[in-house]
């Protein structure tokens, strides 16, 4: 029996250890060391930034939902998601949902739609803001994180801003009151090693023009929560699926152990 108990412990221990190590959030890789000969300041490697979000973090999802309803729904819909489904999945009480998250004119049972008519949007922005239900799946969470964090001031653009992840985007820098306004600083590099090769501009780093209401760390958190929410919306069942998966594995392991014991019991006299 003692043998059996230790077997079960070992079998149970493995998936638990796995589960504990699973949500290893990747920190956004900020900068890389400057190459030899480059100026002292290390260039910002925004292409390597990671969202580092976790849909298992329910508080982050709740904050992300709030961010979306405050800053995105004016232009973007989530047409496959109902308010009530979102509230159920995130354990948001109905009273809080109705008072704080449901857009005016909508009810709990409605899909999350934007009040901006598509035609007006096309006139104002030259493009209709896309529905964001599946954007995390079509573009990846890391892309969304980079997109929301690389808006910079560009007075020559119609929106007065541009974006590194999506150059010439028609979306204005809607988070600049939180993040502040920043300029992109470029450095000149030779476009190839050949003698007389033309110089080209390569993005180097951002420079703050005016600070926002959030510190850079707080803004990173704001963007991570928002991206986390869009990750959830793209695959709402994933939160439940992951937690059920663990129990299914545990159950199967227990069943195997019992079957093994039963087999031993049956065969012990047959020799
Ligand atoms: C003032 C209107 C407006 C608001 C508010 C707004 N967007 Fe947009 N957004 C747009 C427009 C217009 C586009 C289309 C851009 C294009 O394709 O050039 C867009 C495109 C996008 C895209 C698609 C990018 C791609 O690669 O195709 C994402 C993702 C996005 N927005 C996220 C957000 C998030 C998250 C928020 C809230 C924090 C937000 N937007 C708020 C107008 C808006």
Domains and CATH numbers, the chain: 42-236 (1.10.760.10)
Cα 19 from Cα 16, distance rounded (Å): 5
C-alpha to C-alpha distance for 139 and 234, rounded to whole angstroms? 11
Tell me the mean pLDDT in the region 216-231. 98
The pLDDT, as a whole number, for residue 41 is 75
pLDDT band per the 50, 70, 90 thresholds, residue 97? very high
The confidence score (pLDDT) of residue 30 equals 44
Measured between alpha carbons, how far is 110 from 84 in angstroms, rounded to an integer? 8
CB atoms within 10 A of CB 201: 11
Residue 44 DSSP symbol: B
Of 242, 233, 196, 253, nearest to 86 by C-alpha is: 233
Sign of the Cα pseudo-torsion (87, 92, 96, 100, in order): negative
Give the model confidence (pLDDT) of 5-30 as tens digits. 444 444 444 444 444 444 444 444 44
Arithmetic mean of pLDDT over the chain? 87
Split at pLDDT 50, 70, 90, the class of 118 is: confident
pLDDT for res 131: 96
pLDDT band per the 50, 70, 90 thresholds, residue 271: low
pLDDT tens digits, residue range 119-167? 888 888 889 999 999 999 999 999 999 999 999 999 999 999 999 999 9
Residues 6+ apart with CB under 8 A from 65: 86, 90, 92, 101, 229
Percent of the chain at pLDDT above 70? Answer: 85
CA 52 to centroid of ligand 1, rounded, Å: 21
Give the phi and the psi of residue 202 in degrees, each rounded to 5. Answer: -125, 135
Q: What stretches of the chain adopt beta strand conformation (E)?
A: 78-82, 111-112, 151-153, 161-163, 180-190, 199-211
Closest ligand 1 atom, CA of 125? 12
Res 40: pLDDT: 61
Crossing angle for the helix pair 2-21 and 238-267, to the nearest 10 degrees: 160
Euclidean distance between CA atoms 206 and 15, whole angstroms = 44
User: Residues with Cβ within 6 A of ligand 1?
Assistant: 71-72, 74-76, 125, 127, 129-130, 132, 135, 139, 144, 147-148, 166, 169-172, 174-175, 226
Which atom of ligand 1 is the closest one to the Cα of 68? Answer: 37
> Distance between CA atoms of 169 and 129, rounded to whole angstroms?
11
Cα–ligand 1 centroid distance for 170 (angstroms):
8
What is the residue whose two structure tokens read 């030779």?
A: 190
Mean pLDDT within 190-210 = 90
For the chain, what is the radius of gyration of the CA atoms?
Answer: 25
Which of 76, 136, 174, 220 for mutating ligand 1's site (highest number of atoms within 8 Å of CB)?
76
Q: What confidence score (pLDDT) does residue 32 get?
A: 44
**pLDDT number for residue 196:** 84
Ligand 1 atom closest to the Cα of residue 169 is 18
pTM for the whole structure: 0.80
Q: What are phi and psi of 89, to 5 degrees?
A: -60, -35
Residue position matching structure tokens 């009151």: 177
CA distance 4 to 258: 9
């Amino acid at each position: 029996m003692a043998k059996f108990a230790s077997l079960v412990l070992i079998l149970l221990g493995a998936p638990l250890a796995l589960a504990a190590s699973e949500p290893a959030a990747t920190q956004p890789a900020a900068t890389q060391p400057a190459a030899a000969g480059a100026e002292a300041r290390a260039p910002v490697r925004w292409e390597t930034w990671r969202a580092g979000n976790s849909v298992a973090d329910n508080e982050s999802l709740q904050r992300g939902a709030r961010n979306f309803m405050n800053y995105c729904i004016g232009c973007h819909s989530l047409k496959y998601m109902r308010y009530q489904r979102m509230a159920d999945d995130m354990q948001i009480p109905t009273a809080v949902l109705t008072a704080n998250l449901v857009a005016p004119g909508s009810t709990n049972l409605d899909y999350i739609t934007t009040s901006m008519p598509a035609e007006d949007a096309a006139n104002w922005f030259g493009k209709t803001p896309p529905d964001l239900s599946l954007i995390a799946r079509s573009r990846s969470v890391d892309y969304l994180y980079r997109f929301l964090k690389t808006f910079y001031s560009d007075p020559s653009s119609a929106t007065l801003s541009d974006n590194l992840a999506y150059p010439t985007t028609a979306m204005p820098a809607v988070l600049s009151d939180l993040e502040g306004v920043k300029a992109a600083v470029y450095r000149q590099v030779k476009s190839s090693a050949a003698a007389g090769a033309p110089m080209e501009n390569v993005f180097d780093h951002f420079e703050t023009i005016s600070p926002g209401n959030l510190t850079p760390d707080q803004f990173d958190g704001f963007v991570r929560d928002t991206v986390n929410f869009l990750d959830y919306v793209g695959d709402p069942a994933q939160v439940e699926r992951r937690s059920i998966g663990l129990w299914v594995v545990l159950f199967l392991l227990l069943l195997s152990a019992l079957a093994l014991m039963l087999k031993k019991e049956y065969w012990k006299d047959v020799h």
